[in-house]
Amino acid sequence: MEILNQLLFGFSVALQPMNLIYCFFGVLVGTLIGVLPGVGPAAALSLLLPVTFHVPPVSTIILLAGITYGAMYGGSTTSILVNIPGEAASVVTCLDGYQMARKGRAGPALGIAAFGSFIAGTITVFILVFLAPTLANAALKFGPPEYFTLMVLGLSIMVYLARGSIINALIMVCFGLILGTIGLDPMVGVPRFVYRMNTLMDGVGLVQVVIGLFGVSEVLINVERSFKQEEIFETKIKGLLPNREDWRRSIGPIGRGSILGFFLGIIPGMSVVIPTFVSYVIEKKLSKHPEKFGTGMIEGVAGPEAANNAASTGTLVPMLSLGIPTGASTALLLGALMIHGIRPGPLLIQDAPEIFWGVVASLYVGNVMLLVLNLPLIGLWVKILKIPYHFLFSLILLLCIVGSYITNNNPYDVIIMVVFGLVGYLMKKFDYEAAPLVLALVLGPMMETALRRSLVISDGGFAIFFTRPISASFLIVALLVLLSPLVLRKKRLREELRAAE
């Protein structure tokens, strides 16, 4: 009851007219920057930070938090419409979302992404309220060995991500892992595969790689198709909102995606990217038609979209209850609060209850606003696909170039994006999928640093991975995942393989 009272108090803060306006402004800006590829929420937060000095602290965090989760809503839009992931967290949404759009079902795809995010937002707000402090302390149990074994588990599910040939997928995984080693060695600072190019010191940018592999390569393929007079988008639009059948299929993925995203989001250092991949793979595993994933299955949009929204709520847990920022966005939120003289941390709930509960309530209010804001936009977005492709593709390329430049304001990043556009084109021609590459590129560097940190901590002993309970259980699950097809679904795997070859 105590908590409910405080939540009501939170709503009384969040629903003040001024705070509602700030919340609306935040989610609007967030949606816009989410739509624009390359601009992450951190850049927008940083730009708006000086403005917030003149705004009361509660409103500040409501505004800034609105941008963070607004961006998660907006990110799916370009993925679904034109196959450009707005940010790395919506790469997975491209796989089935874009295929739905090509079949004239962009509306339901965008709709389920918005509803999925909303439901995820609602579920996670309640978990946040009841469990935040406990969870934050549990997340601290994750040290380098746990990260490493979690990454091993992540890699073990990679095979299920593949739609076609498993061998090709494994080749892409290795390619991604190799790409991930480019840059300054994270432990001793020796440059690797940099070839005296300073742009490569931090490795190849994830955003540039995904924009190239997905956006640019798709444009190249489509230009080719339009020369052959093939139809790219089915122009007949089949519904603007998800129908009853869509809902029936999506509700499970949304629920699972929310829970999964939230718990993975809490772990410091885990990005919002990984939960989306995990959610996709789980849905594919659970589906009765795994072979249809990648051809426009709504489950493949609903689950990951719920997961990335839930994960961005999850990242607030360590920030609010421990005062630990787990990423650039939360660091900016923290900075904004500190300039107002408020220090998030274990004492926040006692010292500034209006901040904690106000933020929690505004998360919910913001999610309602986002839904109201995004649903009418769907009609508008879908109309974009009516533009003849020979006009549309130049616009898409422009978005790709701007998006890859704007992350670091570095012109060489555009070159990287173009190179990966060509690589992506060849990959499509020869039936290699981009998704395993992207996941490997995300996991690889995290896995490497986690492994090497663990070994420094254990003075070189590998026992550290087996003696710690969480770490050991991840390894066991990974082993089960790897062996399960051999034991349980040998037949189906064989069919899948045959279908692919």
Residues near another protein, by CB under 8 A: 42-43, 45-47, 49-50, 53, 139-144, 184-191, 196, 198-199, 201-202, 268-269, 318, 322-329, 331-332, 335, 338-341, 343-347, 408-410, 449, 453, 456-457, 459
Cβ nearer to another protein, comparing 202 with 431: 202
Cβ nearer to another protein, comparing 166 with 475: 475
Q: Where does residue 278 fall: left (phi above 0), alpha (psi -120 to 50 degrees), or beta otherwise?
A: alpha
Cβ nearer to another protein, comparing 196 with 228: 196
Q: How many helices (H) and strands (E) does the chain have?
A: 24, 2
| β-sheet bridge partners, residue 192 | 183
Min dist CB 196 to another protein, Å, is: 5
Q: Where does residue 345 fall: left (phi above 0), alpha (psi -120 to 50 degrees), or beta otherwise?
A: left
Residue 341, φ and ψ in degrees, nearest 5: 80, 20
Min dist CB 67 to another protein, Å, is: 12
- Got the DSSP string for 120-148? HHHHHHHHHHHHHHHHHHHHTT--HHHHH
Cβ nearer to another protein, comparing 415 with 500: 415
| β-sheet bridge partners, residue 183 | 192
Question: CB of 272 within 8 A of CB of 311?
Answer: yes
Question: CB of 423 within 8 A of CB of 256?
Answer: no
Min dist CB 285 to another protein, Å, is: 31
**H or E element in which residue 192 lies:** strand 191-192
Question: CB of 216 within 8 A of CB of 89?
Answer: no
Cβ nearer to another protein, comparing 347 with 398: 347
Cβ nearer to another protein, comparing 139 with 298: 139
| Cα–Cα distance for residue pair 153/150, rounded to 1 Å | 5
- What are 56's two structure tokens? 């009361």
Cβ nearer to another protein, comparing 281 with 359: 359
Min dist CB 72 to another protein, Å, is: 17
- What are 438's two structure tokens? 């992207």
Min dist CB 56 to another protein, Å, is: 15
Min dist CB 310 to another protein, Å, is: 20
Min dist CB 189 to another protein, Å, is: 4
